[in-house]
Structure 1
Amino acid sequence: MKPRIPWRKRLLVRLLFTSVLIAVCSVAATAWLAVTTTTSALEEEQGQDLAADNRILAQLSGYAAVHPDWTGVRRTVRTLAAKTGRRIALTTADRTLIADSAGQGTPLPPRPAAAVDPLHTDTYTELGAQLSGIDPRAVGPFRLTAPEREKLDAVAKKVQECYDRVGIGVTVQHTPSGRPHVVVDDERDAPLEIKIGCGNFYGESTAETRDALDYPTSTETKALTALTDLARPCLQARDMDLGGPLSLTYDTTGRNPVSGGFLVTKKRTERGTDQNAKNCITNARRIQLEPYVAPAAELFLGIGDQVAPRFDMSRANKTRIVGAAGLVLAVTVAVTAVVATRLVRPLRALTLAAQQPPELHVRAPVRTRDETGLLAEAFNDLTERRERLEEQRKAMVSDIAHELRSPLTNIRGWLEVTRDGVVDPDPALLSSLHEEALVLQRIIDDLQDLAAADAGTLRVHREPVRAADLLDQVAAAHRVAADAAGVTLLTDPDGSAWLDADPVRMRQALGNLVSNAIRHTPADGTVTLAVRRDGDDVVLTVTDTGQGIAQEDLPHVFERFWRAEKSRSRRTGGSGLGLPIVRHLMAAHDGTAEVRSEPGKGAEFTLRLPGAAEPADVS
């Protein structure tokens, strides 16, 4: 009876459970991604709104910096509202409406967005305001007259032409007061002498032209004098500029319009003195500019007193999302069920083939090239190997029975005729019986070695061995057999090659190869034993000039009871156990055994083993 698999452990159920889990995770991840994306979009939109609000504040601050009041601001407010899509309203500090882009009677937002005051602003309103808190576009009495601007523009044009003649690019920029200044596009292209030369127009040094762009005009000088008078009381109140001169300078580039040098007589080392002086100058500038700028106002932005809509989902949207998620889940389950069924079908066929009796050697059909198909191919390969091993086992039993039957039959026959008195037990008969017993003993020893190798109990007793000595010993042991067969036995030793090996087992392995070579080499042939070093390895070869081995037989040379000559005659073949023993002995020595051969050109057996250093006590 086939065992029943619990439904919780079935592959189809597990695949369905996995797919449902994946689908749920996918839906959750998608929802999270949607919420995250929407949040990011909202944050980006809020960032864009903040940038638009800063632009609105900057433009209104610029308007206030160049106008003494808010009389004409309504047109500017309507234009900004149309460009930004925002509601813009300006009021005084007591909420008296100045200008509003919305209709009359529209309530103001609960709180103002910012204060519009060009004398108290920050770096976000206009670049340069961070130096003093005053909008740099508020210039007041420092604004140049039309004749002054025309004169300075002419000078700037001459300076630009001077730079152009020497191949240096410059740009003429204007400050909010109308003053031009020349900016070199790449400071590295303008050496100091060229700057000085172009500033003095190459020798045209006159009172009207010399450094005209770097010195204040009469309008600016007058404003600086008035600013000095406004700042002096503050400096004197803080023990600064007592009896000494106050030197204020004007930055013609407009970045830091006014700076000064101060004489401190009593508290020169007092911390905060420089900052106190700067505060005095800044306060004086605010007093000086106040008549020229619009009064401070409150800026309101938004859509009246309504609250901006927040991200929310209606019941219909929620239902739509849940329905979409359920549809995705249903489609996922259906597709997974179809795929799982197709996956399970070949597995069921494989299971059915594996449950058949072993002697039938049933193969599983291979219909795909995926993991299941590869598993079926592996199962079929395993079945083929099992069938081949079964055939080898049967052949081995038959071969062992044959190898043991022949000598036992000879011994039994001669003993029976001797017992019956038909033949006398003369020395020749006893020698024949002894030879048959030796054959039996050799077969049993070979089988015992193979059994020990299979069980992992084949032991070797390693010691330093000169490879050349092994060749000489094996050649001497087989010299008589080679002479009897008419085969020349040669050696090609290398005295520098040493092995860490069992000399008895190595002579056994080489002896098996030599005896096979002599057996398969015709008269007047040659068998050569050679040794050479190959890097850290030592290579032993046994080469003969016999009939060779067919290419299709080479993979089976080291199999048990295999013979190149299929007949079981001992004249052309042994027991078929010698070469398998050689392979196991090499494995026990961490080496390998290989064969190369061509029909009619002999064969070469190669034993490769790790080399060893020559012992220190060897002379």
Structure 2
Amino acid sequence: MSFRLRIFLLVLVVAGTAIGATAWLTLSLTSREVTRLSAARDRHQAEIAGAIRRFGVTNGRWNGVDAVVAELSERTGLHIRVETEGATLADSDVLRDQVVGPVQRLSTPVDPYPVLDAGTPRPASTVAVAAPIPARPVLPADLFATTPGGSGLRTPEQRAYFQLVQYRAALVAVRCAAGEHAVALPTLGSETAPYLTPEQRAAAPECVRAGQRKVLHDTDWLDQWWEQFAQCRDDPPSDFEQCLGPAFTEAVSTTGAIPVRIYFGAGRDQGLAGLGRPALFGAAGLLVAAALGTAWIARRISRPVRAITGASLQLAAGRLDVRVPASGKDELAFLTASFNAMAEAMQRSEERQRRLVADVAHELRTPLSNLRGYLEGLADGVVEPTPELFASLHEETLLQRRILDDLQVLALAENGDLAYAIAPLDLAELAGSAVTAHRAVATNAGLRLLVDAPEPVEVQADPDRLRQVLGNLLSNAIRYTDAGGQVEVRVSRDELTAILTVRDTGVGMSAEEVARVFDRFWRADPARHRATGGSGLGLTISRRIAEDHGGTITASSAPGLGSTFTVRLPARMR
């Protein structure tokens, strides 16, 4: 079983246990809280609805209901929310500056209107049928001196009409006293007629008179609702009550507060108390499982991590032969194997670097020793200066300069700093021009130089760098092919790849030599190299250029049968 699978299964067990425990706790808490909330709502619903209705009736508006809601919530322990259509008037959680909790979807409606006191309807025998609407009754000069039952208005519609006028005038008087005269009349003195107490009337007589004048002078409003009430008198007694009550409610709604709905939710005191011993055992078991699993994971991870950390410190200190023992087939074993592979690669890179320094020193030591010997001989008069000698010395200096130039190009290429001027390029045309440039050298060497490029093959590449690659391949082919042999350059393509091939009939190479042909300073025939002047870096540079163009360069050969070098590049789409 892989380490990843072990961790996954452990996390799955812990997560499943946690989810199960959480679900059980949630269901238990929810069930207990729903039961508690339903019981608390049943106990306090009437009290809360009555208090809020009384506030609406006596104020005629909802300004200041926050204090009532806060006091009721504090006393009952319930979350109380009062809403109108599309707006929240008060929320006890908001008033406490705490996170707003959920409420039940079932609401309690509250109509903040006074109760109609219209007396007993007339007997059926006295009800006139289709009688004309009588004139609007004359109201007492002092609306608050009496109740509807003692006003002298005998019919139910007259008494309902008088009660409506009293309620509106009382609300106007209270608002006048609170706003204009700053008299302490915050609410109506009573939610039944005449609504204002004698003390209130004595405290703000001007506002009381102003309220009565305003209502009594609003004749349009008075006529509208008297006509509405008077129409109910034609109904039978059973329907009369159903007509006059809604008419009174509708009339009061034009001057009083708007209806609201009360929603109830759980209060602040929610805890885990009462869940019992099983919950404690479940939580303890979950903690134990999590602790054991975490300890196992930490131990399983920390041991190889410590080993890799120690090995990396030794690697940084220069011990490139350090390795970490690897066992198993899980991800940590793969990590250890990756570290060992990295250390191996660093050791090989260091060895290659050392070989490179040794190769460069070797390549420069022999010609420099020759130059030094000849110069000392010339200085001592041992060697006679001749044009041939100076030509040989000049050739040696050119060879050293070529080696240094190739090293610089290789360094730039391996660091990714070699500049390229990418442009559309026809490989067939490039092959033709390269063959033309090398034809004279091939002819002098007694070789046939052929080109097979029957159709254009376009790529996106740097023309100068690809010309350098092809020049290196042609130079090597001519150098290692004896007189009478043949060198052929072929250009072709498949669906996605452009192919450039240089094939010769030269001496060829063994499989071991083919494997090293792209190494720095490696030559299949060092003695022959001395005669022809190669630097041993051309193929290394050519491979890097091909890779920078998104392509590859490969070699195949057999001793005595010649060699074939193949360059593959991404072709331009037709």
Richer in helix (by share): 2
